[in-house]
Amino acid sequence: MQLSLTYDAELLAEALDRLEGEFAGLPGFEAEVPGEGRMAAVLAEAAQRLGDNFPYFHPLYAGQMLKPPHPVARAAYALAMRLNPNNHALDGGRASSRMEMEAVREIAAMFGWSRFLGHLTSGGTFANLEALWVAGLMAPGKNVVASEQAHYTHSRISGVLKLPFAAVGTDDRGRMDLAALEAALKGGDVGTVVATLGTTALGAVDPLDRILALRKKYGFRLHVDAAYGGYFRLASNLEGEAQRAFECIEEADSIVVDPHKHGLQPYGCGCILFRDPAMGQWYKHNSPYTYFTSAELHLGEISLECSRAGASAVALWTTQRLLPLMRAGEFAHGLEKGREAALRLHRMIAADPHFVAGQMPQLDIVTWAARAPSREESSRRAQQVFDRAAEQNLHLALAHLPARFFQGSEWPDGDSGVPVTCLRSVLMKPEHLSWVEEIGKRLQRAA
């Protein structure tokens, strides 16, 4: 078993002793713990129930975007839970609020920003909500546009915020189609463009450099959803348009990134950043019953969420203290290994007569279809491979994508825009690089 729970416990025990020492001057007391005598039995039952899960921590789990938190993040989160700080205000999370500010500052620096406004959120959905909320206030009544492969959260959030939303088409690699975007911009009613750097299905990277050129011409607000791909700013083995997109990400108006994806953090931990600190004007509010001892600016004054787990900030700060966000560092090497694993798996699939490879992965997500004479038969075979792979403890994912994403298929041309059920693999663990050959062997047996 490779959960490293004993290691986590050893890390945590010493740190807890140190934390207890920080409060040694307080008089002793007996804490009331309802159900104390039954806790072990209930925890044992919970552990048994948790066994009904996919092995997300193992390299043979290569399905969804699930990456194990770093052991130091798990230990730091548990350590902070001894106090259970609330980072809504300095009164509820004094140390953890400052740790959040420092950790977010390092994330902003990764994108090239030294002056900014930003904070952690409960995840990418809420982070994107804040970005579009501000965008709607800046351009009231104007459209929000994103690509057809952008996360569905943007259309949903736009509905919540009562903002008009439109999806624009993509090219055959799942990236925003620039001609389709410009056609939408010519109408004059687009206030915000959402560029995705790492789409959920494909890991596709929208051509940000060319979208920026259109911004100069049409003058819209540009939000970058890098919830999945943001940390690849540090990777040295990207190519072409993906590399160019990350090189100019600092020119965006706002950026979302999820530390609970590639950032080695527990759920939920998202981050919203605004390039202009003046965006704080939209958050102004008055709550005299909550903030009464701190004269300093606190995180509750620049976020829509109220109560937020200070433990998330402590875990992130500790991880970044151990593994700084720098190119050519240990953290960046982990991203590069996932990217290399994806390229190797793609090459293996392209050489296998059972499959039709999708486009060359831009990040660390691989897609492929089952070779068959029809789209319907391909979808059926993909489901079979998915089931048979799971019987060998190889856990993949299924996705429904336009047939045109799989060039070289035998399907009729008229099917090109119709969805086909395909296989998808997310190789985001560094260990995937050393396991990719085994993954390929099990995939061949399943086929």
Range of the domain at 314: 94-322
pLDDT of residue 136: 97
Give the chain's residues under pLDDT 70.
1-6, 285-297, 413-416
- pTM for the predicted model, two decimal places: 0.94
pLDDT of residue 290: 52
pLDDT of residue 380: 97
Q: Looking at 275, 301, 322, which one is the last position of a domain?
A: 322
For the stretch 87-98, pLDDT in tens is: 988 889 999 999
Total structural domains in the chain?
2
- CA atoms of 296 and 284, how far apart (whole Å): 14
CA dihedral (73, 79, 84, 88) positive or negative: negative
3-class secondary structure, 333: helix
For the stretch 326-355, pLDDT in tens is: 999 999 999 999 999 999 999 999 999 999
pLDDT of residue 1: 46
CATH code at 371?
Answer: 3.90.1150.170
Phi, psi of 189 (to 5 degrees): -115, 20
Q: Is the residue at 372 inside a domain? A: yes
Are residues 441 and 344 part of one domain? yes
Q: Looking at 297, 322, 347, which one is the last position of a domain?
A: 322
- CA atoms of 364 and 384, how far apart (whole Å): 24
Are residues 312 and 336 part of one domain? no
Are residues 334 and 317 part of one domain? no
CATH code at 118?
Answer: 3.40.640.10
pLDDT of residue 149: 97
Are residues 361 and 265 part of one domain? no
Residue 216 CB-density burial (10 A; 0-12 exposed, 13-18 middle, 19+ buried): exposed
Are residues 125 and 261 part of one domain? yes
Q: Is the residue at 54 inside a domain? A: no
Are residues 345 and 316 part of one domain? no
3-class secondary structure, 187: coil
